[in-house]
Structure 1
Amino acid sequence: MEEKKLDVKSLVGFGLIALILIWMIYNQTEQEESKNSEKDKQEHIDKITDETIPEEGTTSLTEVDSTVSDSVNAENLKSSLGAFAYSASLPSAKGGVTELENELLDLKIANKGGYISSATLKNFEQFRKGSNQRVELIKDNNADFNLQFQTKDNRILNTRDLYFEPEFTKEGENQVLTMRLKAGAQQYLEYRYVLKPKDYMLDFSIRTQGLSKVVNTSKPMDLEWQLKAYRNEKSVTYENRYTDMVYEYEDGKDDDLGQGSTEAEKAEDVTYIAYKQHFFASILLTDTPFKTADLTSENLVKDEEIDTVFTKNFTAKVPLEFKGGELSYNMNWYYGPSDYEILYNYDRNLDEIMPLGWGIFGWINRFIFIPLFGALSSFLPYGIAIILFTILVRLVMSPVTYKSYLSQAKMKVIRPEINELNEKYKKDPMKKQQETMKLYNKAGVSPMAGCLPALMQIPVFYALFQFFPSYFDLRQKSFLWATDLSSYDSIIHLPFYIPFYGNHVSIFPILASVAIFFYMKMTTGDQSMAQPQQEGMPDMSKIMKVMIYISPLMMLIFFNNYASGLSLYYFISNLITIGIMFVIKNYIVKEEKVHAMVQQNKEKPKKQNKFQKKMQEMMEQAQEQQERQQKKNK
């Protein structure tokens, strides 16, 4: 009986202990759940307030204590953002990105700020061979797109700090992303992106709805666009030289900011702003011209051995005007190659961002060189296409070369007679000039005939100088030892840097310099013999002898960092010119033939044209006046 009582007490004790344990476990679980709930609230608040501290003069989000209620949090957000606290309460305030992608572009648009946070060109690689690193025009916060505006209650807000609500749809094959910064269910600022298949150009619009009671519409919204241009090519110096800001204004005019350390300009009625890198471009276009635009360009390459990541920092600030209390701008974004054909086909004057030269130089490139080289490279390797292109250009210019050499040969034949006149009338410069002109006319020789052909070649020379660095298709195309015809062909990298020359040795500039040396060696003697020594003037023959050595050296230094395609052109061009000059000199324009030609011209009666007749009369009048003055003095 006693054992039974003990058993009952034991059971009661064990039951009490079990109840106590159950109560303790339950209480601990409740505490953990409470802690987790508070932690979740804090994380949500942190995401809303993350990185929302704006620059001086702007309104920031108020810090929120994790212990306060949701109603207090809402009040704190409202005190910081006013009506736009609504956007901070939406799920999109947690951050994130939306991706738009076609065959050419991969774009990411961030909820925070609503702008393009990443732009990758899928079909192009950076200069690092074998890295498979695609060209990224925007990455790692190197770009910023912001609208700054004032609210009715005098807050200054920046869209870069606020969260947009994304909505992705499709219109046929087009991808459409609508980003809305909301002040209420039907009150918002909207960015609308439309990406089409196989296109580098996006449709982009900015508009507002129902914000006239929230935003101060008496002042424009300030659009701010900034980009630090990443280096994408082998030579940062060469790439930086062709990296520039170009803009169109006043119904089709275009201009650029230049290559200074820091450039700034203010333009009016701007229709596009292009941040042009050497072979790529980021362009903002607008159907409604920006009334004004403050543009700046800062050169970031202070030391080309150290500053090798970025080339330039571009910024643009333009006002967006309200009309009827609302904002409405239809725009476009272009992220793609600086390819003449692609830009030209958009029919928006975007090809003007290409540095093809002004006036006649640009016309030669646009209407002759680009179509011709495009046709050749469509069925030939690029290196062979350059060689054939060079041959065709030199053959077309060969008549000019012939006329130039023929004029020099004629001047060489009559030079003894000119020397006699110089000696005979050395005390009477006016008479000497008259007799020299008579000799030129009688022999059928014009001293300008040798200069004009040379001047005619200058537009071609300059056009080619602009063509090769700008022609996109040469980028990363190889020929012989050159791995990239749009950049230098280095075969030796030096362990030190030589001022003006660089830290590498390029072969094509060396070959071109050697060819120039032999060409000048071949022609300088004839040129010095053809040009008579003028009294009081320096001896051109001595100057030309010095230039034989200076010109090749200057080309070697200057072209060492230039496109190997350009150096290849000049090498082949000089070889062809040497061949043409050899044929002309030895088989076409022989000295005895030229001498007979001059003597035959002397025997023919000569008629002076109006210009020659007028010049003759002026010289005779001057001679008579001089003689009268001499008699008077006596």
Structure 2
Amino acid sequence: MDKNTLVGFVLIGTVLIGFSIYNRPSKEDLEQAHHYQDSIQAIQKEQSNKVDVEVQKDSISYTQIVADSTSAFYSSLKGTEQEISLENNLIQLKLSNKGGTPQEAILKSYKDQNGQPLVVFDKKDIQMDFSIDGKNENILTNNLYFTPTNVTDSTVTMRLQINGGGTLDFNYKLLKDSYVLNFSIQANNMQNFFPSASKSINLNWHQKIRHQEKGYSFEQRYTALTYKRSGHDSNKLSEGRDANKEIEDALDWIAFKGQFFSTIWIAHQDFNNTILNSKVLAENSGYMKEYNANMTTSFDPTGKEPTNMQMYIGPNRFNTLKATNKICAAASPKSLELQDLVYLGWPIVRLINRYFTIPLFDWLSGWGLSMGIVLLLMTFIVKSIVYPATYKSYMSSAKMRALKPYMDKINEKYPNKDDALKKQQEMMSLYSQYGVSPMGGCLPMLVQMPVFMALFFFVPNAIELRQQSFLWASDLSAYDDVINWGTNLPIIGNHLSLFCVLFSASSLLNTYISMKMQDPMGQQQQMPAMKWMMYLMPLMFFFIFNTYSSGLNYYYFISGLISIITMVILRKTTDEKKLLAKLETNKVKIQADRTAKGSRGGMMAKLEALKKEQERIEAERQKTLKNKH
């Protein structure tokens, strides 16, 4: 804020304060106002047939003044709150007749951190309000009492009785062996209640996401309000800060997502005019975020076409969400792509995870092994697949080490920094003569990077690792705090993760061995800053990954250990003298091929042309200096 702006705010504030003091009511005015207020209260007490209904939406509070017994909802304004339970083998839902919406969801196959059945939300956490504009008064369902009808273990109709015979029905059906709740809204004999222009119903959905996992900051990274535009990929609000967004496009679904569990509203007639809000909550509040979504969807006041929606209340498991797409397809042909809630990384990394990592993980998990052994086997399989690239990268560095005697001679020939270009040219010429590429070790390493990154995105999102113990780690989806001092310290936090320490140590050793093996030109001495940067990376890994899941650190530790063992074995089994002899043979063959063609092509020709041009420029420079003297 600049000086002028600050002065402006001060002046405005001064004027407002002065104006309020000047217009402050006198003592007589206050007494008259109190007398008037007492009269109003007396009248309201006499008119007991008038009811005030106060509705709280997000942070906006408004009051609907409902008329007396002529109101269409007079009989629904009073009642006794009761719960109706729907359940199958996976989930138990409790709905309240007050408001007619779900107020509690319990997942039977999952446990919370205390070993109790996992509660996704209860009445303290969630609020759903529907509103529809009428001719004379609006329907605001929050404080209206519905009558439960057609009640079974998996179905119920919450019926709102309208004076005059009409009804508004909320129809619920919990699908068998599924986390999906079918939901429809249908008006019956209410044509005269709604204006002819009424075509939509408004839904305001408010929910707090519970802190379900071990470790606040790590869980926060994967907790985000997510939505999908019709015909587009899904998107999300910021995970790390408060966020608001108004969306004009039609939406297929909105998900209030936690790290491993979500509540999703699916609109088969689209959500429109959507306003989304996400608020980060304090670490010790028992919650991660507070979400709010306000949107409209299609509504037929004649009752011919019901408003169809579905709710998914369950785990963020890739295969479960993918199967849910097919279940929802029975109600709508939309391509929902609910599995996008499980974030699998950037496009190429996502493809690797979707068509390789997940099938491999599911296959190994199907053997009934512990998740620690599954991750171990996955690591061996992945390292075996990338071994050809690893071997090619190693052999490229081995060939350069074999040529080191020739490189040393070139370094001795050009000791001055002014001759760096000439030295580089001769080095490149040497590589070309022996058929060695200095970039030969880089490309194979780049090929391995997407696979390395794929596990980085997959493991923290794998709900199968949740609460699975291995060795000293009690939960592979969270950090393994072998030492916990209870107080958050800058950068490191309140604990020490042993798998993270092992990963960082193996990374440090891996760096040391790699730099010893792959530095035939002595670049470490020439660029000491790069050397220390390489050694600094493992230390950075420790501070970054200390709060990450132990399963991820365990995978990277085993992967690094295998890399070290592989390099040591390759070094022991590689005879650099024999390798140099092969290179000498290769040099003769390359020269013979070039002689047979009558010219030198490719990189060698360019290097020689560059060398001649450099020599010409140097000769002219020397000639100019001589003429001056």
Q: Structure 1 residue 162 and structure 2 residue 144: aligned?
A: yes
Give the CA deviation at 1:544.
2.0
Query: 2: distance between equivalents of 1:376 and 1:501?
Result: 34
* Paired residue type of 1:297: S
Q: Structure 1 residue 359 and structure 2 residue 338: aligned?
A: no
Shifted more, 210-219 versus 421-430: the winner is 421-430
Is contact 1:298-1:312 (8 Å) kept? yes
Is contact 1:247-1:272 (8 Å) kept? yes
Deviation track 1:129-169 (CA, whole Å, cap 9, x = no partner) reads: xxx3221111132111112333312x455211222222134
Give the CA deviation at 1:363.
1.2
Query: 2: distance between equivalents of 1:317 and 1:330?
Result: 17
Alignment of structure 1 residues 604-619 onto 2, 5 Å = 604-605=589-590, 612=603, 616=607, 619=610
Q: Which of 229, 233, 248 does residue 249 from structure 1 map onto?
A: 229
Q: Which of 505, 510, 516 does residue 525 from structure 1 map onto?
A: 516
**Residue number in structure 2 paired with 1:133:** 116
Alignment of structure 1 residues 472-491 onto 2, 5 Å = 472-491=463-482
- Specify the SS of the correspondent of 2:375: helix
How many residue pairs get aligned? The number is 555
Is contact 1:409-1:530 (8 Å) kept? no
* Paired residue type of 2:310: N
Query: 1: distance between equivalents of 2:56 and 2:379?
Result: 58
Query: 2: distance between equivalents of 1:483 and 1:57?
Result: 45
Give the CA deviation at 1:496.
2.3
Deviation track 1:86-140 (CA, whole Å, cap 9, x = no partner) reads: 4336xxx322121111111111111111110111112211123xxx322111113
Q: Structure 1 unaligned runs (5+)? A: 1-41, 63-74
**Residue number in structure 2 paired with 1:60:** 64
Alignment of structure 1 residues 217-616 onto 2, 5 Å = 218=197, 220-267=200-247, 268-301=249-282, 304=283, 306-307=284-285, 309-323=286-300, 328-347=306-325, 348-379=336-367, 380-418=369-407, 420-421=409-410, 423-424=413-414, 427=418, 432-530=423-521, 532=523, 539-541=526-528, 543-545=530-532, 547-548=534-535, 550-587=536-573, 589-605=574-590, 612=603, 616=607
Is contact 2:269-2:298 (8 Å) kept? no
* Paired residue type of 1:521: Y
Deviation track 1:518-553 (CA, whole Å, cap 9, x = no partner) reads: 2222222223334658xxxx93355324533x2332
**Residue number in structure 2 paired with 1:112:** 98
Deviation track 1:247-302 (CA, whole Å, cap 9, x = no partner) reads: 1113142111122311223331210111111111111112112234222221113x
* Paired residue type of 1:592: K
* Paired residue type of 1:361: V
Give the CA deviation at 1:50.
9.4
Give the CA deviation at 1:615.
5.0
Shifted more, 431-440 versus 508-517: the winner is 431-440
Query: 2: distance between equivalents of 1:616 and 1:203?
Result: 71
Query: 1: distance between equivalents of 2:378 and 2:450?
Result: 17
Q: Structure 2 unaligned runs (5+)? A: 1-44, 326-335, 595-599
CA spacing shift, 1:633–1:343, aligned 2, 3 Å: farther
Which is higher, the Rg of structure 1 or of structure 2? Answer: 1
Query: 2: distance between equivalents of 1:160 and 1:215?
Result: 19
Query: 1: distance between equivalents of 2:580 and 2:523?
Result: 17
Is contact 1:201-1:334 (8 Å) kept? yes
TM-score by length of 1: 0.80
* Paired residue type of 1:298: K
Give the CA deviation at 1:460.
1.0
RMSD: 3.1
Deviation track 1:208-249 (CA, whole Å, cap 9, x = no partner) reads: 334343234536432111211011111122111111122111
Deviation track 1:496-531 (CA, whole Å, cap 9, x = no partner) reads: 222222212222112222222222222222233346
- Specify the SS of the correspondent of 2:124: coil
Query: 2: distance between equivalents of 1:237 and 1:123?
Result: 25
Is contact 1:108-1:117 (8 Å) kept? yes
Alignment of structure 1 residues 16-95 onto 2, 5 Å = 52=54, 58-60=62-64, 76-78=68-70, 82-88=71-77, 93-95=79-81
Deviation track 1:578-619 (CA, whole Å, cap 9, x = no partner) reads: 1111110011x2322332232222222256898637855984
Query: 2: distance between equivalents of 1:193 and 1:594?
Result: 74
CA spacing shift, 1:215–1:57, aligned 2, 3 Å: farther
Q: Structure 1 residue 176 and structure 2 residue 165: aligned?
A: no
Deviation track 1:406-461 (CA, whole Å, cap 9, x = no partner) reads: 11122233345345546449656665554433222111111111111211121011
Q: Percent identity?
A: 33
* Paired residue type of 1:76: D
Is contact 2:251-2:272 (8 Å) kept? yes
* Paired residue type of 1:450: G
Query: 2: distance between equivalents of 1:97 and 1:249?
Result: 35
Shifted more, 253-262 versus 454-463: the winner is 253-262
* Paired residue type of 2:347: G
